[in-house]
Homo-oligomer: A and B are copies of this chain.
Amino acid sequence: MSRFTGFTTHDVRFPTSRDLDGSDAMNPDPDYSAAYLVVGTDDPDGLEGHGFAFTIGRGNDVQVAAIDALAGHLLGRDVEAVLADMGATSKSFVDDSQLRWLGPEKGVMHMAISAVVNALWDLKAKRAGLPLWDLLSRMTPEELVDLVDFRYLTDALTREEALELLRRAEPGRAARRAELLERGFPAYTTTPGWLGYSDEKLVRLAHEAVAEGFSQIKLKVGADVEDDVRRLRLAREAVGPEVRIAVDANQRWDVGVAIDWVNRLAPYDPWWIEEPTSPDDVLGHAAIRRGVSPVKVATGEHVQNRIVFKQLLQAGSLDVLQIDAARVGGVNENVAILLLAAKFGVPVCPHAGGVGLCELVQHLSMFDLVAVAGTTQDRVIEFVDHLHEHFTDPVVVTQGAYRAPTTPGFSAQVRPETLAHYAFPDGAEWRPVPTEDPVHLHTREVPA
């Protein structure tokens, strides 16, 4: 019998604020970061599981501390037993009653659970010799519903309804798997639209996106309405009427302002408005959706857990559901959310970007295609061309589509030289900065 013997965390930060990559109306100067975890075992196979929480700089150390708080929940446990029943394993973290008080099921502690659960899925997939999307897609409907914690969901989705959804999708799995391997999964690109970019850079990158085969791009909005109208007009002129342009306000607005602002942008035919207001505001999103139709409403990257997603669906708050691979409690909770979205017939278009979020979330969309939703209709995975070079199995996006990974695992593994070079605060990337207080060099407040 093998046991978990290694649980090593890393505080890794990239100085992305220097070029305003990733700048938006709420996050003017992110330093994309990972609270990174490697779990090891004493099994002779020598395989490791890698996982992480994504943050944008300050507080990444707090996130690392939260992951460390879970070490005692894994070290010493039987590897086979832990990986064989990932539903129970996930619950063993979520249901620790003392840690639960720190959420419950939200924020730093829940993101820490995500990192551990995802690292275990990475290990499980490596041991199975399969990429995660394929491992999940080969599980039976019964095995899949066993992954889900239905607590707080049963007024919207029961275990039996979820089983039925999965069984209905079962016959088409093989055909959709073949289709996925041949055509990939549609992507859209946020690369042109960061708020810190000049008009010239925006237009140039929008042209490039179309030339590269993308049928959807995204622009950040929300700082200044006149700027946004101009930028959306320029983007629309650049890409033509057929390419979809999503806009993303990153939670910048109150309900009334959101409705007014989006209606100012409407002449340039935005496809969806993303995160118009607080991710906690189920009723606010519903009001905005009513006020901006036919522009669609999308949200989810900051939605804390399945319970809020359930309500967003119940209240008719969104047209597009955006999962994030590392904010809710990892693969297990995302399976629950994919099932909820399927029940309500809402397409899932994952949030990605950051550090490694593209690498992770592609697996979830591909599983959704093969075994749950069964279609790519109106479904696209966000693509941001940042930081992929730091991963051992980076995403491959060609002709506007993610290509299905074939390497076993969850594509979560960062190169060892990156872990060393970008270690905060002692890695080579950070050491040259002349400072007594490096944390505050990059401080800037949200504009009022």
- The residues of A with any CB-CB pair to B shorter than 8 Å are 26-31, 55-59, 61-63, 65-66, 69, 72, 92, 95-111, 151-155, 251, 254-256, 277-284, 287, 302, 304-305, 307-308, 310-311, 314-315, 437, 439-440, 442-446
How many copies of this chain does the complex contain? 2
Report chain B residues within 8 Å CB of A106. Answer: 106-107, 280, 304
Asked whether B281 lies within 8 Å of A55 as measured between CB atoms, the reply is no
Asked whether A61 lies within 8 Å of B69 as measured between CB atoms, the reply is yes
Report chain B residues within 8 Å CB of A29. Answer: 97-98
Of all chain B residues, the one with the shortest Cβ separation from A67 is: B62
Asked whether A284 lies within 8 Å of B155 as measured between CB atoms, the reply is yes
Report the 10 A-B pairs with minimum CB-CB distance, sorted nearest first: A107-B107, A108-B108, A57-B98, A58-B98, A155-B255, A65-B65, A280-B307, A95-B446, A152-B278, A154-B254
What CA separation (Å) do A35 and B80 show in the bound complex? 37
What CA separation (Å) do A445 and B445 show in the bound complex? 41
Report chain B residues within 8 Å CB of A109. Answer: 59, 62, 107-108
Report chain B residues within 8 Å CB of A55. Answer: 98, 101-102
Task: Report A155 CB to chain B, min CB distance, Å.
Answer: 4
Known interface pairs A30-B98, A280-B308; 15 further A-B residue pairs with C-beta atoms within 8 A, sorted by A's residue number: A31-B98, A58-B69, A59-B101, A62-B102, A62-B109, A97-B444, A108-B108, A108-B109, A151-B278, A152-B277, A280-B304, A280-B305, A282-B282, A283-B315, A284-B311
Asked whether A283 lies within 8 Å of B314 as measured between CB atoms, the reply is yes
What are 17 A-B pairs with beta-carbon distances under 8 A?
A28-B97, A55-B101, A56-B101, A58-B99, A59-B66, A59-B99, A62-B69, A62-B108, A62-B109, A102-B107, A106-B107, A107-B108, A108-B109, A152-B280, A278-B307, A281-B307, A282-B283
Report chain B residues within 8 Å CB of A101. Answer: 27, 30, 55-56, 59
Report chain B residues within 8 Å CB of A279. Answer: 104
Report chain B residues within 8 Å CB of A287. Answer: 155
Asked whether B445 lies within 8 Å of A72 as measured between CB atoms, the reply is no
Report chain B residues within 8 Å CB of A95. Answer: 445-446
Report chain B residues within 8 Å CB of A444. Answer: 97
Pick the contact of A97: B99, B152, B154, B445 (CB < 8 A).
B445
What CA separation (Å) do A251 and B251 show in the bound complex? 28
Pick the contact of A254: B100, B152, B277 (CB < 8 A).
B152
Asked whether A152 lies within 8 Å of B284 as measured between CB atoms, the reply is yes
Pick the contact of A56: B97, B315, B446 (CB < 8 A).
B97
